[in-house]
A and B are shown apart, each in its own frame.
Chain A
Amino acid sequence: GNSVTQMEGPVTLSEEAFLTINCTYTATGYPSLFWYVQYPGEGLQLLLKATKADDKGSNKGFEATYRKETTSFHLEKGSVQVSDSAVYFCALSDTEAAGNKLTFGGGTRVLVKP
Chain B
Amino acid sequence: GAGVSQSPSNKVTEKGKDVELRCDPISGHTALYWYRQSLGQGLEFLIYFQGNSAPDKSGLPSDRFSAERTGESVSTLTIQRTQQEDSAVYLCASSRYGTLVPDTQYFGPGTRLTVL
Residues of A within 8 A of B (CB): 32, 34, 36, 42-46, 49, 51, 89, 91, 93, 95-96, 98-107
| Seed contacts A99-B99, A101-B33, A102-B35; 7 additional CB < 8 Å A-B pairs | A42-B109, A43-B91, A95-B100, A98-B50, A99-B31, A101-B59, A104-B44
How many residues of B are in contact with the other chain, CB < 8 A? 27
The distance in angstroms between the C-alpha atoms of A105 and B42, with both chains bound, is 8
Complex contact A104–B43 (CB within 8 A): yes
Q: A43-B110, A45-B107, A51-B102 are in contact. Are A103 and B91 (CB under 8 A)?
A: no
Say whether B48 contacts A99, CB under 8 Å.
Answer: yes
How long is the Cα–Cα vector from A96 to B107 in the complex, in angstroms?
A: 22
Q: Is the interface of B mostly helix, strand, loop or mixed?
A: strand
Distance, CA A49 to CA B102, complexed state (A)? 10
List the B residue with the shortest CB-CB distance to A46.
Answer: B104
Contacts of A107 in B (CB 8 A): 42-43
Q: How far is the CB of B79 from chain A (nearest CB, A)?
A: 20
Asked if B42 and A43 sit within 8 Å, CB to CB, the answer is no
B 59-107 contacts with A by CB, 8 A: 59, 91, 93, 95, 98-107
- Contact with A44, one of B42, B91, B98 (Cβ below 8 angstroms): B91
- The reply to whether B48 and A106 form a contact with Cβ atoms under 8 Å apart is no
Q: Which residues of B contact A104 (CB under 8 A)?
A: 42-44
A103 to B110, CA, bound (A): 18
B56 contacts partner chain A, Cβ-Cβ < 8 Å:
yes
Interface centre among A34, A45, A46, A102 (most CB of B within 10 A): A102
Report the separation of the CA atoms of residues A67 and B1 in the bound assembly, to the nearest whole angstrom.
34
Q: Which one of A45, A98, A105, A107 has the greatest number of beta carbons of chain B within 10 Å? A: A98
Can you name 27 A-B pairs with beta carbons within 8 Å? A32-B102, A43-B91, A43-B107, A43-B108, A44-B107, A46-B105, A46-B106, A49-B104, A93-B103, A95-B101, A98-B56, A98-B99, A98-B100, A99-B48, A99-B50, A99-B56, A100-B31, A100-B95, A100-B103, A100-B105, A101-B48, A101-B56, A101-B59, A102-B45, A102-B105, A107-B42, A107-B43
